[in-house]
């Protein structure tokens, strides 16, 4: 956890991978948003990096040295909302108090319970919260939220999500593009993943076979950046920090991709393996 927090503390808007037009537009919007303190709603598909963007905005703002607290919305049930947000009489500090002067991110707000929605709307309307000890404190943190765009739209359309709360949380709305909308970023996302791997393992950054990188840019990644990074890290782990062609082929057989891409993966194997090993590697798949 300490390593993860240290890694996240390095994220800023300027470090976001933004070679694609879609990400360059987003970076411009995020840079402007970082200069104010109003509520921000970040929407996008699963795995697009919504929390990373929130952290980058926090780290690029005047609040950089203050707490960044993230609480998953699904944890705020009828039974847990009060003590998770405002603390307990036993002395456990709630999310609002922990995030004072910093940023409080509610992730996945489409999953907020009706009780949590009502309580959050009241607190934001009043501009203050009460601790478990009954002390009234002003909201001095920035409120940020993330949501799966399609699911939140459905919750709003059916009335399960409060329009009043939505209006309060969406002073600025940022939309994370899917990986399919930013394929130009894929080589740089891979290199960033490799550098993080090298830093973590204290090894030299692995080099990527050219044909493998070409293949990565042509695969459909339904789970977006998260799936791409998990794939690269898994291959590295299974092949001791290298890109073993046989392991690559096995991974692409598991990814739901068109047959043409599976054929391309086998072509890759031929280009990377000696001919005597190709038949054996292909036979195992």
pLDDT value at 225 more than 80? yes
Average pLDDT over residues 96-104: 96
Least confident stretch, 59-68, 77-86, 122-131, 270-279: 270-279
Q: Which residues make beta-bridge pairs with 107?
A: 72
Q: Which CATH class is domain 2-177?
A: alpha beta
Query: At 174, is the pLDDT very low, low, confident or very high (cuts 50, 70, 90)?
Result: very high
pLDDT value at 279 more than 50? no
Tokens of 79: 């039974």
The per-residue pLDDT for range 138-160, each reduced to its tens digit, is: 999 999 999 998 999 999 999 99
Average pLDDT over residues 218-223: 84
Instruction: Out of 6-15, 107-116, 194-203, 262-271, give the one with best mean pLDDT.
Output: 107-116
Q: Which residue has the tokens 């059916």?
A: 158
The pTM of this model reads 0.86
The per-residue pLDDT for range 21-49, each reduced to its tens digit, is: 999 999 999 999 999 999 999 999 999 99
Q: What are the residue boundaries of the structural domains of the chain, listed by start? A: 2-177, 180-283
The pair phi, psi for residue 240, each rounded to 5°, is 55, 45
Q: What is the pLDDT of residue 278?
A: 42
**CA distances in angstroms from 264 to 34, 219, 258, listed in the order given:** 43, 10, 10
pLDDT value at 253 more than 90? no
Q: Cα(82)–Cα(80) distance, rounded to whole angstroms?
A: 6
Smallest CA-to-CA distance from 176 within 7, 54, 68, 69 is with 54
Rounded to 10 degrees, what is the CA torsion of 259, 260, 263, 267?
-160
Taking domain 180-283, whether its CATH number is 1.10.8.60 is answered by: yes
Cβ–Cβ < 8 Å for 87, 94:
yes
């Amino acid at each position: 956890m300490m390593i993860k927090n240290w890694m996240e503390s390095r994220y800023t808007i300027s470090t976001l991978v933004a070679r694609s037009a879609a990400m360059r537009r987003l970076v411009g919007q995020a840079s402007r948003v970082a200069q104010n303190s109003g509520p921000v709603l970040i929407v996008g598909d699963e795995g697009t990096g919504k929390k990373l963007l929130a952290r980058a905005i926090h780290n690029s703002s005047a609040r950089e040295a203050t707490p960044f607290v993230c609480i998953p919305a699904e944890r705020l049930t009828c039974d847990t909302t009060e003590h998770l947000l405002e603390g307990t009489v036993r002395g456990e500090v709630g999310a609002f108090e922990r995030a004072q002067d910093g940023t409080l991110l509610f992730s996945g707000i489409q999953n907020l319970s009706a009780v949590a929605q009502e309580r959050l709307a009241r607190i934001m309307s009043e501009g203050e919260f009460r601790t478990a000890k009954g002390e009234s404190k002003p909201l001095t943190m920035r409120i940020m939220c993330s949501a799966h765009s399609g699911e939140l739209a459905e919750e709003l359309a059916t009335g399960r999500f409060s329009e009043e709360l939505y209006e309060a949380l969406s002073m600025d709305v940022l939309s994370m593009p899917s990986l399919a909308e930013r394929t130009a970023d894929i080589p740089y996302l891979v290199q960033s993943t490799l550098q993080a791997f090298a830093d973590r393992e204290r090894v030299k950054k692995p080099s990527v076979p050219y044909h493998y990188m070409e293949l990565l840019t042509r695969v459909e990644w339904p789970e977006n950046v998260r799936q791409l990074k998990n794939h690269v890290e898994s291959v590295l782990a299974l092949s001791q920090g290298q890109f073993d062609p046989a392991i690559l082929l096995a991974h692409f057989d598991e990814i739901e991709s068109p047959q043409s891409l599976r054929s391309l993966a086998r072509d890759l194997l031929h280009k990377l393996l000696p001919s005597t090993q190709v038949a054996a590697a292909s036979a195992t798949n």
